[in-house]
Structure 1
């Protein structure tokens, strides 16, 4: 299994007359993410990726190695935005318990809005992951650690102001809240009512006090 090459902000593609044509790697990866998100890794073909990105097969292989390499790079690109958005929600200028509840409610709302297969790109990828895909497993584990760490930091702030039980282990609670977030995503795939998912958020918040 080949490793993806490091994609620069601008990468080159050789045009019909042999002249290099620059393309924006972020745009390519965003478009590739959309295809994998919509169809899943195994149902996505290189032709699908060429059509979505506007690049030739050789250009995609030249930068990312193979379809698996494109998938890893697309997941990296998507997860950077997902982690940054979670960090921004948790750092909102409100009390930490309110920031946490609002963040979880956001996932409840989004889960209902994106019901069906599309759901969440990270969640879909995790569910589709093959047991022997160690590279992808490592990527997903790293994303989960980053999100759990952000959630744990918010719990610590809530413990400091007396909103949350000070005896709770913040690492365990961070992982618990990550499970809640991912569970909301999975349940949203079968078009759960928003009120039902909001109830789950309320139960999770009560578990922290």
Structure 2
């Protein structure tokens, strides 16, 4: 689910002082870049205004408050990440290869990131929980949808005879979800791509 944002890029169409004449999706993406780089609590309104190109009044008018901006940013990031995961898992190639490519995507991206920023969703979960029930519900929903996509990929592999048919696809999906979270954390603390790739290959051997 990790994907790069440019927090210094101003959202297109975000004219200062004109709260309803901007692209809300682009503004949410720009805000996500700020939260991803700085974290929620350290992200200042001035930085959010600079990244989005909007005045405070425009941001508050669109999102309610800073917390509302975070929720919109999480939604924007999650939808993009889920769409990319689904595309990789459903690629017209052998199911084992598709699943491997989807998992390896995490190793490539986290290894390439500067500043050891990790995944936006993972970072938000670690910073905002426990205590923020709204963010917790958002993240729980995202994780459930990821697990559903992974379970479907496991079923395709079982039908093709490359994964053990006696394995419970939902349990395997939760296992793979834990693997993806671990890849993000390991990438954040400095493991290189080769080390993370070895983890992916070991996880896939457990399915055979």
Correspondence 1:179-198 to 2 at 5 A: 179-198=178-197
Contact (CA 8 Å) 1:115, 1:190: kept in 2 or not? no
> 2:6 maps to which residue?
none
Larger strand proportion, structure 1 or 2?
1
Provide the TM-score with structure 1 as the length reference. 0.89
Give structure 1 stretches of 5+ with no counterpart: 1-10
| Distance in structure 2 (CA, Å) of the matches to 1:155 and 1:136 | 29
Bigger Cα Rg: 1
> 2:84 maps to which residue?
85
> 2:153 maps to which residue?
154
Q: Which runs of 4+ in 1 moved over 3 A?
A: 11-15
Provide the TM-score with structure 2 as the length reference. 0.89
| Distance in structure 2 (CA, Å) of the matches to 1:130 and 1:20 | 31
> 1:7 maps to which residue?
none
Structure 1 residue 13: Cα displacement = 7.5
Structure 1 residue 193: Cα displacement = 1.6
- 1:171 matched to 2:170? The reply is yes
Correspondence 1:42-53 to 2 at 5 A: 42-53=41-52
Task: Count the aligned residue pairs.
Answer: 197
Contact (CA 8 Å) 1:116, 1:190: kept in 2 or not? no
Structure 1 residue 161: Cα displacement = 1.2
CA RMSD, Structure 1 to Structure 2 (Å): 1.9
Give structure 2 stretches of 5+ with no counterpart: 1-12
| Distance in structure 2 (CA, Å) of the matches to 1:131 and 1:98 | 37
Structure 1 residue 129: Cα displacement = 1.8
